[in-house]
Amino acid sequence: MTIVRKNTLNPTVNPSVSPSENLAEKYMEAERMHDVLLLLQNLVNSEEATVKLILDCLYDVGSVNLINQKLRLKPLNRVMKLIARMSKPVFRALALNWFKKNCPQLITNWLHTQVSFEKPQKTPEQVPIEVVKLEPYSLPQTESLSQEIKNLRYQVRWLAGISVIAIAVLVVRATWLN
């Protein structure tokens, strides 16, 4: 009776392949993935106009969705969309630099995981949570907090009103000058 022992230290190692062959395969794999990285960097550099257009499209969709999600007031929503359109060139420059620096490596890593055919082990991370018993505020603290909240709301209303008036004055002034 023959007992076949599975390699439990490295499950990806094939017992029928010698260690030198496995090392050569790993070296070839690393070399080819480096080639993929270089090719992706070359692609990004040669197709910079295409990358800019892709980033523009992503910015247009993402900025509108973010503004719609965060700002429900119509006038403020419209103003922020206008500001987002004006800030697009700054975003394009920053995003292009980030894309050139990071995306070829990120794409290479993702492609490597796709061709390695390893099943990802889904082990949920267990994070220790320390529970602290909260004591409610005392009555004087609660009253002072509620008064502070009322004052802050009042200030926010004033600032919003002043902002709307300032924007309206700018729009009227701009249309009058034209």
User: pLDDT, tens digit, for every residue of 1-20?
Assistant: 444 433 434 444 455 667 88
Q: CA-CA distance, 154 to 150, in Å (whole number)?
A: 6
Q: What pLDDT is stored for residue 149 in this prediction?
A: 85
Q: How many CB atoms lie within 10 A of CB 91?
A: 16
pLDDT, tens digit, 9 for 90 and up, residues 23-77 = 989 999 999 999 999 999 999 999 999 999 999 999 999 999 989 998 888 888 8
**One-character DSSP codes across 10-30:** -TTS-TTS-HHHHHHHHHHHH
Q: What pLDDT is stored for residue 35 in this prediction?
A: 94
- Do residues 55 and 38 make contact, with C-beta atoms less than 8 angstroms apart? no
Q: Which two tokens stand for residue 122?
A: 């889904």
Q: CA-CA distance, 175 to 169, in Å (whole number)?
A: 10
